[in-house]
Each structure stands twice: as C-alpha cells, then as structure tokens.
Amino acid sequence: MNTSLDWVHPDCRAWFQGENPMVLGVSGGADSMALLYHTLESAARQPEQVVVGHFNHHVRENSHEDEQFVRLTCQRLGVHCQIAHWTPCQTGNLYEEARLARYEFLTRLALQWGAPAVAVAHHGDDQGETFLQHLLRGSGLRGLTGISPSRRLAQGVQLLRPLLHWRRGEIEAWLTARNLTWCHDPGNDSIQRQRGWLRHQVIPGLEQTLQKDPIPALMATSSRLHQADAALEWMVEEIWPQLQVDKQEDCLVLQAAPLARLPAELVKRVVERCRSLVLEAPHPIGQRGATGIIRQLYSSQPHWLVEVNGITLCREGEKITIFKGRRRKKTMNG
C-alpha cells in the first residue's frame, strides 16, 4: 500500500498520520469518492478504522440513488457506513440548514466513534467560488478567507479539508484513470443558484476575458487573507491579558480603556471571543452589531448599553460587563 500523504493538504497532513478512527463525509460525488479511495490507499488506517457518514438531505428526488451507491461501495470496501436522513424545512435558507444539519450529523458520528477528525472533500474550485460568493455579499476579512483547510468542529473534533489544494478536473482525472465511478448531481449544472451561476457563467467569462484560469489567483488570495486573519487572531491573544477579563458566573467583566484603544477589527474580534465565552459556543456578532458596539466604545460616553445577537454590553465607567441575553438599564449613571 502507498502510504504517501502528498495528496493531503499540508495543514491537514498531521491528522492523517496515526491510527485513530477517522470520519469521512461522503456524498457519492467525485470529490468525496476520491477522498474515500485516497484515505484507504495511502493512510495508515485499516478499512475498519474509517467511518463514512452519508447525509441524505432529500432535497433531490433521486437522492436515494446516491445513498445506495455510497452504501454498496462501503460494503465492497469493508468500510463502516452510517446514513442520516433529513426532512427539509419550509422556512429559512434550505441549503444552509442542510449544510448545518450535515455537520451536526458528522460531529455526532465522530464523537460516537471516538474520532478526533472529520474530513470532507471541498477542493480548489469550491474555494474560488466561495471567495466570489462572499465578495459579492460584501463580506469582511474573515469571510474572504473562504474555506479553511482545518478548523475546530466541536470539542475534541477537528474538521479537515485535505483536498482543498486539488482542482475539480484533477480529481475526476484521478478517478477516471483508475476506472472508479461517482454520482453526478444534476443540480450542479443549474445556473439558478448563485454558485451554479458563478461556476458556469462568471468564472468561464473571467477566463475568456483574462485569457487564463482565474481559480489559482482566487485560491492564492484566499490563502493570503487566511494568513492575515490568523495574524489578527494572534494579536487578540497578545492583547487579551491587558483587558483583564474576569469571567463571573453569568457574565464577563473587562477594562474599557485598553479595548477602546484598539482598531475596530480587533474590537470586533475581542467582543466575539467574549460572546463565545458567555454563550459557551462560537458565535460571530456580524458587521451591523459590531458597528453599534464600536460607535459607543469610541464615543466619550462613560455609561452606555448595547444589545446585540444574544448578549448585552453595559459600560459603567472604566468597566464593560457582557451578559447573556437582555438586561435593563438599571445602573446607568445612578
């Protein structure tokens, strides 16, 4: 067996070394089938140490065919396969809800099997399309970093994207050269959704105009922005002791003056970290919420209160208290 891990993104490679169980999110598409075969061929794991999670979202009429294909492939390869079914909701963003439900399923599966990592099969073309989506949405730096090769999914569980440096064409060519098959989602051919429009019209149009493939440049830009984002997170770590954050039973208390001296982007990140500690889960506050907090913080007012996305920030003189939920203005200047 070829044990080389050259196919794995450098940021994910360490997780593929060793013999811990690993959960793979496999839809049946070319990218996830390549992930499955690569893992079995080159990682130091036996088939019984690989757990495939297939999430049937029932958004397409023929989704049962993908499920059957994945189930039979895993049976042939001697890999454990677990299927989850999801009932689409009639409200909200259908695809976003399906995405979140899939990650919740894969997280439960990892915890059930004692797997420290979940690997999914996003690739470089996904990265380029995501960058353009977020750019058109007006995202900030964190959004423009695109898809991270590795991030925390839950306590003790890391989410990996080992194929993020591969291109869609490279993946399909690798499978074809080995006579390996995959499922095709006809929804990927549609231009009715924004991602399909970007994939089939915008990106080919850019390639025709520029006379070169735009995806490598988009991938490189996302990577550089990811490095800038990491640098800002490092700065938050360095600044954190100066804020003298005091975690109490139902709130956080920190010093206002050192926070007010920070640039707006660092203020936003500090508040997001505080919000995560108060709510005991990672939650972004969004640009609108951040703008309201920053406006008050930079003002000369010694007493103010801001409610944003599940938390309340209350300034009393030199200290800012951050509560979970809403609080009345009962101590504001007497």
User: Which part of the chain is CATH 3.30.465.60?
Assistant: 244-324
CATH number of 13-210: 3.30.390.30, 3.40.50.970, 3.40.50.2300, 3.40.50.620?
3.40.50.620
| Whole-angstrom distance, CA of residue 251 vs CA of residue 249 | 6
For the chain, list the strands marked E by DSSP.
22-25, 50-56, 80-85, 117-119, 150-154, 157-160, 246-247, 251-255, 303-308, 311-316, 319-324
CATH number of 244-324: 3.30.465.60
User: Which part of the chain is CATH 3.40.50.620?
Assistant: 13-210
**Tens-of-pLDDT digits for all 334 residues of the chain?**
455 889 999 999 999 987 889 999 999 999 999 999 999 988 667 888 999 999 998 877 788 999 999 999 999 999 999 999 998 776 667 788 888 899 999 999 999 999 999 999 999 999 999 999 999 999 889 899 999 999 999 889 999 999 999 999 999 999 999 999 999 988 888 898 899 999 999 999 999 999 999 999 999 999 999 999 999 999 999 999 999 999 888 889 999 999 999 999 999 999 999 988 888 766 677 788 889 999 999 998 999 999 988 899 999 999 999 998 876 554 444 4
Among 30, 20, 15, CA closest to 51: 20
